[in-house]
Chains A and B, each alone.
Chain A
């Protein structure tokens, strides 16, 4: 009964005054997968989510959720999705538990079923201790977990999370990621927007990159990285050697760059296949001693930069952590 694609957007456009927020966006999210919608602030991510969650109507194009049209069958869409978005918040003057029960009641679960489900979720999201405190006093991480719990009250088959970790400290982000992974292992279809490359890389099965209201790239995290063709060779020498550049240059695609201390060399490469062996042989033949050879696959950061021409974070000063702060994290996760 469930359609193959639980979320579909085709040709979505939306204009707010002079701003073309969406200029024709297409993507699909197959059942049981996570789509990461990646883009800088103002790229149109939130607008796309608002249309798909029935909060805004598109000027043209069509969206479906669980097979239902988001404009003509909005009531059906609302029955099968859960939404946690920064601009659609819970009630700060209610306690965590009251918020969950209210969302459950308004989702027509019935009061007793809502209470029971709220208890389960408060425990599952590690909020039992704070359950009867007013939400205004929650930390950012607790608030987001409560938001996520609220969006799963009815066990929806489709979830929309709009920037679920923006503004969180690193520890809270890691916890959010764990919770999100757990949800998806239960078979939920998830659309997640984010400005964080590492987040999309870690969580998403597929990524679409949106900029200026258009999809400018899509694919798996791996495909996107390969498409950017910016793999680099990095060589560390035991001590500076004059012949090193000459020995490496025939093996690489770009110009060989040398660090100030003369020990670190790097260059763009076309293919990593067999390259390490060739590099060692060439340097050994020139009598140069090598400490380390690394072939660095492009990070999504590089991809993003090459696609949008701007760093993803330069619009948002509130970011607690940038990919640049953790230069090695991507390699570890995406291997």
Chain B
């Protein structure tokens, strides 16, 4: 439809730019992650992007939609980015292909493409893999140097790069697969692991061990999120509700010295995927609630789900499931929590 009547003036901001700024906001965290844990995540993202593009083009072709303008909206880049971050670094290529293929074809286009999907495609793809390949999805294969928290690692070392690429295309046995999980998972699975021991003494910034790496990655996601807020790309409602809920729950249930360790609030916020979840995943506008009161409830639901699944559930980290659960609730929230229309229900008289 051409602009045949008012308004004639438009803001210059486009969907393309928005999506691009999300990429910009996430990039420091990815750089930090690569610095500490090798380029596995970067490779994940790159490969997911390429394969996702192909899947998107295929879907658009089959649905007889214009390919170029739809690919150009950058939304796929964000999906591939979130998916690439969620998938363990060092995952083989076929795992990525299955996941991003599911995300784009089933998660997004089967529902009618951008704007129509009910579930966050990246998280749908992740959950599909988690259910189908639980073993592959819970072990993080990293270059050797990134594993031992005691040693200073050097991510630019060539052996690390080679290992990362090798892991991506596993021609040899994965016996070398050096597994590692986020500090939160370690604290859940093995109470007295090295990371937990480090945590007991408090995380050390700038010591460039893997625990510090996690911490910095989360701080970077937080900063990226604040950048998105400052650019008014996302509103504060969802991140504040998610983080606030996780913070409150982890503070309430935290009992130091207890054998069943629930983890400190700090661990829940900065030793896990809470930050990226709150700022980058839960805020996906297509699948989130839209009115401001609904957004707050939506964030609280996700926060409760994150904490509950983490602590009482059998899954390790829980952002994907929590967000998908939130997606389930979003339409109902939008239906029932509508803002009051201006002037309605007012007396009108002075």
Is the A/B pair a real complex? no
Chain B interfacial positions (CB closer than 8 Å to A): none
